[in-house]
Amino acid sequence: MSKESISKIYLVLEKIEYIEEIIKDAGSITRALEDAVTKRPAILMHLTAIAEQFNKLKLENATHILEAFDLGDIKGIYDVRTYIAHDYEGVNLAIIEWIIRNGLPKFKTLCQSVINQYTAV
């Protein structure tokens, strides 16, 4: 596992933790997403950055890392990134909330598992 590839997983984990911090500061996911000036844009940017890291792993054929994740989940996060980039004002916040509640905890656990495998070597 290359250091460059694993650094992308560290970055995904960092972005997830930033989103968690934003939500903690707001008091809830709903309140964070209601803040159209600072918190919602920050969350959307972090989600975009997460998707970009997975896309970079895909482009560099880092299958040894990507196989730890569900390919459908990776496609889903990239589809959300595309939606954010091309229809920012029309982003369905219910979908974003679902991703934060259900998708990000799964990604976080898998990222930690990949990192643990890497640091154990």
- Residue 121 predicted with pLDDT over 80: no
What are the tens digits of pLDDT across the range 56-113?
Answer: 999 999 999 999 999 999 999 999 999 898 887 789 999 999 999 999 999 999 999 9
Rounded CA separation 70/60 (Å)? 18
Q: Which pLDDT score is estimated for 119?
A: 83
Rounded CA separation 93/54 (Å)? 22
Q: Which pLDDT score is estimated for 109?
A: 97
Q: Which pLDDT score is estimated for 90?
A: 80
- Residue 18 predicted with pLDDT over 80: yes
Q: Which pLDDT score is estimated for 34?
A: 96
CA dihedral 101, 104, 105, 110 (to 10 degrees): 160
Q: Which two tokens stand for residue 37?
A: 């000036």
Q: What is the mean pLDDT of the chain?
A: 94
21-47 average pLDDT score: 97
User: pLDDT-based confidence at 23, cuts 50/70/90?
Assistant: very high
